[in-house]
A = this chain, B = another copy of it.
């Protein structure tokens, strides 16, 4: 037990449909001393990602649900306060999975020291972290875009979509992004170099896609499922590939909505394949090499949406599921200059 106070956001009730503020609770507990081979860290940045909606639900997913009254999970960039592990020293910055809290105790083996000469620390929660790696392998391993093919990306200004679309451009494809505002549409076209952007809230997706992808769709990088997937399927080409990376449009659904009719898959001998980044841990270095290099060359751009203070995490997370963020959403939990 230390003298420090740990602020935590715990799951108070399992949201039904859209999460509400009252599903979350801020609690304070004493910080625990790290044991042998453990490190005590202070959270600098917390990553907020759509997959967390699944973790606070009951029911089968690819990982266990967060228990009621437990801290909500999440990737973090943290600073080592005290180390009982030979590989870490006080003051080191590490990538951790400490969740929605200001302090955490982790086994040294579960923590990775960050090279801040390579990139700013918060990049490791985004373009050089789980979202970037998701974009990289789902696009290249399942999507396999080729020069001159047309790639469509949904949630295209988000943490994963923005990277996927830019990599598809690097690979020589025509890239169409679907987003939720004119501001985001301008951003993906003017800043990220997408060929076309579609605002799903103001444009009719079917006709907008037909215009944006006159030669049909070869790869659909699917972050959303729902009506976009349904519409895309009507415009795919022979042998199209659809990495299914997220189902953001239905994470808040009370019961699973039906999916798209699959006749178009048969007609076009196309494939839909589910993707989870954890299957690619052994290939992380490939990803880091390529993406670091592209960042250095200025071929990849990265935008963050930073929310300050842990207590604002629930509101920011609720907004994330509504598409209110603009760029990779992180919470600045502590000010690094002051700790």
User: Contact between A256 and B247 (Cβ–Cβ < 8 Å)?
Assistant: no
- Is A271 engaged at the interface, CB distance under 8 Å to the other chain? yes
CA distance A229 to B260 in the complex (A): 13
- Is A3 engaged at the interface, CB distance under 8 Å to the other chain? no
User: A271: nearest residue on chain B (CB-CB)?
Assistant: B273
User: Contact between B272 and A276 (Cβ–Cβ < 8 Å)?
Assistant: no
Each complex incorporates copies of this chain amounting to 2
User: Contact between A273 and B274 (Cβ–Cβ < 8 Å)?
Assistant: no
User: Of the 9-residue stretches A27-35, A188-196, A198-206, A262-270, which lies at the interface with chain B?
Assistant: A262-270
Query: Among residues 244 to 298 in chain A, which have CB atoms less than 8 Å away from a CB atom of chain B?
Result: 244-247, 250, 256-276, 279
| A272-B279 contact, Cβ under 8 Å, with A267-B60, A267-B61 | no
Please indicate the chain B residues that have their CB under 8 angstroms from the CB of A272 in the complex.
262, 265, 271-273
Of B60, B245, B261, the contact of A259 (CB 8 Å cutoff):
B261
User: Contact between B62 and A267 (Cβ–Cβ < 8 Å)?
Assistant: yes
User: Contact between B274 and A266 (Cβ–Cβ < 8 Å)?
Assistant: yes
Given A257-B261, A262-B274, A271-B272, 5 more A-B residue pairs with CB atoms under 8 Å apart are A229-B262, A256-B261, A264-B274, A272-B272, A272-B273
